[in-house]
Chain A
Amino acid sequence: AQSVTQPDIHITVSEGASLELRCNYSYGATPYLFWYVQSPGQGLQLLLKYFSGDTLVQGIKGFEAEFKRSQSSFNLRKPSVHWSDAAEYFCAVAPGDNAGNMLTFGGGTRLMVKP
C-alpha cells in the first residue's frame, strides 16, 4: 500500500524568505503526485500535480515542486513567501496505474509566516 510522509508538522518562515516543504512517498511504481493547500476553515485547493515528463512542475500562487525518483520525494518550494501563504499543506499520491484514483495524503505541514 502506498504511504506519504511529511516530516515537518510545523514550519515557521519570515515573510519574503524562501520555503521548502518536504514530502516522501512509498509506492511500488511511480505514482501521480499532488500538493494541496488548506486555509483555516476552507476546503482543499490543488496547488500542482505531477503525472510524468518534466520533473519540475509549476503550480498556482508561485509554487513549484520537483519530483526526484531516486529519493521518492516531491518537495514543494516557493522563492518568496507571502503572509497569505500561511495555511496547511498536504502532499498526496494516487496510483499511477488503473488501480483507482483515490488519494493517499500525508499528515500535513502547517506553515506560519512571520511578518
Chain B
Amino acid sequence: DSGVTQTPKHLITATGQRVTLRCSPRSGDLSVYWYQQSLDQGLQFLIQYYNGEERAKGNILERFSAQQFPDLHSELNLSSLELGDSALYFCASNLAGGREQYFGPGTRLTVT
C-alpha cells in the first residue's frame, strides 16, 4: 500500500458526460501528479500540482482539468467524454523536492 488513495475504483459513463476522479496523496506529500494509461498511448503524464498551484502540464486535453485543494487532495475533471478517453487514470504523490513518486491504485474509466 503506497498510502495514495483514489476513488472511485471503476467508473462507467456515456459519451458526452463529465466525471470527477479524486486522489488523496500520502501524508505529508505536497505534490500530486496525474497520469493516463491507455493501450495505444501507454503511460502519459497529464498534470502536476504542488501545494495547490499548477506546477507542470503534459499531454492534457483542454476538456480535462484538475485542481488541488487546501487539504492537498486533488480532483481530475474530465468533460465531454469520448470513447478514446477510456483508460486507467493514476494519481501519484511525492515529497516536495523528492523525485520518486508513489502511485495510487488507479481509477478505471470506461466510456460507452
Which A residues are closer than 8 A to B by beta carbons? Answer: 32, 34, 36, 42-46, 49, 51, 90, 94, 100-108
Task: Please name all residues of chain A whose beta carbon is closer than 8 Å to the beta carbon of B104 when the two chains form the complex.
Answer: 43
- The docked-state distance in angstroms from the alpha carbon of A44 to that of B35 is 11
Complex contact B42–A49 (CB within 8 A): no
- Known contacts being A102-B48, A105-B42, is A42 close to B99, with CB within 8 Å? no
Task: Please name all residues of chain B whose beta carbon is closer than 8 Å to the beta carbon of A34 when the two chains form the complex.
Answer: 100
Min Cβ gap A31→B in Å is: 10
**Cβ-Cβ contact count across A and B, 8 Å cutoff:** 54
Assess whether B24 is interfacial by the CB under 8 Å rule.
no
Which of A49, A51, A104 is close to B45, meaning CB atoms less than 8 Å apart? A104
**Interface of B, helix, strand, loop or mixed by DSSP:** strand
Which of A46, A101, A105, A107 is close to B31, meaning CB atoms less than 8 Å apart? A101
Min Cβ gap A99→B in Å is: 9
Complex contact B105–A102 (CB within 8 A): no
Q: List 28 A-B contacts (CB under 8 A).
A: A32-B99, A43-B2, A43-B90, A43-B104, A43-B105, A45-B2, A46-B101, A46-B102, A49-B100, A51-B99, A90-B43, A94-B99, A100-B55, A101-B31, A101-B33, A101-B48, A101-B56, A101-B94, A101-B98, A101-B99, A102-B45, A102-B48, A103-B35, A103-B43, A103-B45, A104-B45, A105-B43, A105-B44
Which of B2, B56, B98, B102 is close to A102, meaning CB atoms less than 8 Å apart? B56
- The docked-state distance in angstroms from the alpha carbon of A42 to that of B106 is 8
